Homo-oligomer: A and B are copies of this chain.
Amino acid sequence: MPELDFWYEFASTYSYLAAMRAEALAGEAGVRLRWRPFLLGPIFFAQGWKTSPFNLYPAKGRNMWRDMERQCAIRGLPLRQPDPFPQNTLVAARLALALPDESRADFSRAVFHAEFGEGRDISGEQVLRDLLGALDLPAEPVFARAKSDDVKARLRDNTEDAQRAGVFGAPSFVAADGELFWGDDRFEQALDWARGKGTS
């Protein structure tokens, strides 16, 4: 089965859109998604941005929120802006990597839903514990693993892998041959590419 890396950042609104349709789209396409959380902060920082470009450039930010309202309405997704934006996603990203592979997608969708569907602050440990609990995932050992050097290193490695693959924003999709697609708007084309049906 062809594979596609799904690079997402929990602070990213368009990653929310992609995460919520990821399984359905990939299932239809017959492509296995690898859910790969990473941190945009270091990538933005390296190019001189200290916060989200949606905050740095107000007209771009206003359009993004209005566009999110429209896309969520079309897709029947709830939308509520979290405060602050962007959220600190370090703990959530480590937890996602601390979980076994088969639980990562469910947990990631739960984080996105809490953050952008309900406007909750997902930087806090209690919210994340509640989300794990609601999925019947054992919070204590997952938190312990999330704080291990191994998981901390995996998140750093993921972020470096993303940057090496050319990722500069989220969501991004990278096929086995290295072809990069940026944005939820290119999700379908990335899947086509992964199954060998893309243009060359």
Contact = CB atoms under 8 A, between A and B. Distances in A.
Interface of A: 47, 57, 59-60, 62-63, 66-67, 70, 73-74, 163, 166-169, 180-182, 185-186, 189, 198-200
A180 B63 contact: yes
Copies per assembly: 2
A120 B67 CA distance: 35
A170 to B, nearest CB: 13
A156 to B, nearest CB: 19
A198 B168 contact: no
B59 A198 contact: no
Given A60-B168, A62-B166, A73-B200, 5 more contacts: A47-B57, A57-B168, A59-B166, A59-B167, A63-B168
Given A67-B182, A189-B70, A168 B59 contact: yes
Contacts of A167: 59
17 contacts: A47-B57, A59-B163, A59-B166, A59-B167, A59-B168, A60-B168, A63-B166, A63-B168, A63-B180, A66-B180, A67-B181, A67-B182, A70-B189, A70-B199, A73-B199, A73-B200, A74-B199
Nearest to A189: B70
Contacts of A181: 67
A182 B59 CA distance: 11
A60 B167 CA distance: 8
